[in-house]
Chains A and B, each alone.
Chain A
Amino acid sequence: MKLMTLIRKECIEDIFSSRGAALYLVGCGVLSVFSLLLVSNTELSLLDNAQAVYMMAGIIMSLALLISVIRGSDGFAGERDRETLELLLITPVSAVDIGIAKLMGTFVSWLIIFLLSIPYLWAVGSTGQNLWPAFIYIFIAGSFLVLIFGGFMLGLSARMKTFKEVLSIGLTLFLLSASPVILGPSLRQSGIGRLIDHVNPFGSALNMIDSVVVDSQNISFQLPHLATLTICTIFALCFLYATTRRVEL
């Protein structure tokens, strides 16, 4: 009951706060702009549906990552800044439960973003191949990313003092994670590029979606990507548990 109360509070706070509404509107806006680009730009309008779905999936994954970084950073450090953390810590609820509730709140935010993205995916990909696998794999990959980055950021947030400190680390992490994708295929082919691609959960998530949606490869090709994502998730959740076992002001 206590855990559900905390999760409910996180979700309602997300919906009723201007921050939550702004995040969803920005997400919708980005997806709308990209969709409009697809129809207004001649080159992009000739893209194969699967390719368009894959590009949109990249944007959706970035939104998932951004939500995790922002909400994770705000988790404990934001409450500390707003002086509401002390009130939660003196209740008979453990800090681990507070951490879990905040992670679930982040997950619900991701669910909302995912639901909002479904009409866009349908609009760009309904006449192409692999739309249903795209839905499934985007959901799976996004969920892993939210657990990994959300868990890690919440863990940092439990230990660091202010929201700004945690957010600056989070945004650096965001750029580092997305860098192999930004650097382009040639650098990704190098030894270090390949290594980073294999250990970087964001890279794994995108590669998995590429493999399923564009190359129509079956689940056996996705196992290495899923393994990377699972291992990173386990590490992130262990980190969250270790850091929230003892949260001080």
Chain B
Amino acid sequence: MTVYPSDIYGFLGPNGSGKTTTLRILCGILLPDRGEVSVLGQNPASQRGLLRQRINILPESHGFYGWMLAGEYLRFFGRLYGLNLTDTDCRMHLQQVGLDSADRRPIRTFSRGMKQRVGIARALLNDPEILFLDEPTNGLDPKGRRDIHDLLLSLNREKGMTIIISTHILDDVERLCNRIAILHDKKIQYEGTLLEEPAEKARTKSGLESTYIACTEKGKQQ
């Protein structure tokens, strides 16, 4: 699996196919049993400190310190990245993900969608070169999903941020990704590009759907 700079890379696969494990290995949280991993030219297992300053992740199921206020939460993680965020900075980061005037609310009072947005705001704190997102639109309403899609596209266009999205929601992939990999049975069954032209794009969903089903069915037959 190869991801190029400024890619929005879709990482697809059914539940239990190893998507989350792969992302954790790429972030250096888990050690691979075998094989080689290189992220931004560095080994995530041995050069964790340096690498983590340049990447960030939104895990699929991530808890929160519910007693913290949203602004306090961002300030806490900001400090861990060496940033001294002011109240204005925190408000700005929350506004970016559509959470206006929520910085003084305790996170335990947030809905699931709001928590997901706080999580995304946290993942963007260190302005990462590579952003790993594990099921980023989980728990979001349609407008919320659209807002997050727009945010990710603008980050990619304006800052050239490389984004790796692990999901099984094909609509997210279709709207966001230029390249994809389909994982099944802990193996990459397909890796390729999604077409950009509108005429082709109209066909892409059905094309992507059939590719996805073919890959996952193939795995089952094997």
Pick out which of these stretches binds chain A: B48-56, B88-96, B145-153, B181-189. B48-56
Assess whether A220 is interfacial by the CB under 8 Å rule.
no
Least CB distance, A42 to chain B, in whole angstroms: 46
What chain A residues lie within 8 Å of B49 (beta carbons)? 92, 94
Contact A91-B81, Cβ < 8 Å, known A83-B63, A84-B65: yes
Please determine whether B52 and A92 come into contact, CB atoms closer than 8 angstroms: yes
Cα distance, A83 to B79, chains bound together (Å): 20
Please determine whether B31 and A248 come into contact, CB atoms closer than 8 angstroms: yes
What chain A residues lie within 8 Å of B122 (beta carbons)? 87
The residue that B67 contacts in the complex, of A1, A13, A91, with Cβ under 8 A, is A13
Please determine whether A92 and B59 come into contact, CB atoms closer than 8 angstroms: no
What chain A residues lie within 8 Å of B53 (beta carbons)? 92
Please determine whether A92 and B80 come into contact, CB atoms closer than 8 angstroms: yes
Q: How many residues of B contact A (CB 8 A)?
A: 28
Please determine whether A90 and B57 come into contact, CB atoms closer than 8 angstroms: yes
Please determine whether A249 and B29 come into contact, CB atoms closer than 8 angstroms: yes
Assess whether B30 is interfacial by the CB under 8 Å rule.
yes
Please determine whether B63 and A82 come into contact, CB atoms closer than 8 angstroms: yes
Taking CB as reference atom, which chain B residue is nearest A83?
Answer: B63
Assess whether A40 is interfacial by the CB under 8 Å rule.
no
Which residues 9-67 of B have a CB within 8 angstroms of A?
24, 27-31, 48-50, 52-53, 55-57, 59, 61-65, 67
Assess whether A86 is interfacial by the CB under 8 Å rule.
yes
Cα distance, A89 to B82, chains bound together (Å): 15
Least CB distance, B24 to chain A, in whole angstroms: 7
What chain A residues lie within 8 Å of B50 (beta carbons)? 92
Least CB distance, A176 to chain B, in whole angstroms: 33
Assess whether B77 is interfacial by the CB under 8 Å rule.
yes
Taking CB as reference atom, which chain B residue is nearest A1?
Answer: B79
Least CB distance, B73 to chain A, in whole angstroms: 10
Assess whether A6 is interfacial by the CB under 8 Å rule.
yes
What chain B residues lie within 8 Å of A16 (beta carbons)? 67
Cα distance, A248 to B29, chains bound together (Å): 6
What chain B residues lie within 8 Å of A90 (beta carbons)? 27-29, 52, 55-57
Assess whether A194 is interfacial by the CB under 8 Å rule.
no
Interface string of A188-207 (1 = CB under 8 A from B): 00000000000000000000
Instruction: Categorize the interface residue count of chain A.
Output: 20 to 34
Cα distance, A154 to B29, chains bound together (Å): 19
Which residues 103-130 of B have a CB within 8 angstroms of A?
122
Tell which of A6, A9, A89, A93 has the most Cβ of chain B within 10 Å: A89
Please determine whether A249 and B67 come into contact, CB atoms closer than 8 angstroms: no
Least CB distance, A248 to chain B, in whole angstroms: 6
Assess whether B190 is interfacial by the CB under 8 Å rule.
no
Least CB distance, B47 to chain A, in whole angstroms: 11
What chain B residues lie within 8 Å of A41 (beta carbons)? none
Cα distance, A6 to B79, chains bound together (Å): 9
Please determine whether B30 and A5 come into contact, CB atoms closer than 8 angstroms: no
Least CB distance, B27 to chain A, in whole angstroms: 5
What chain A residues lie within 8 Å of B56 (beta carbons)? 90
What chain A residues lie within 8 Å of B55 (beta carbons)? 90
Cα distance, A79 to B62, chains bound together (Å): 10
What chain B residues lie within 8 Å of A248 (beta carbons)? 29-31
Contact A91-B62, Cβ < 8 Å, known A1-B79, A86-B29, A248-B29: no
10 A-B contacts (beta carbon < 8 Å): A1-B79, A5-B76, A13-B65, A84-B65, A86-B24, A86-B59, A87-B77, A91-B80, A92-B53, A248-B31
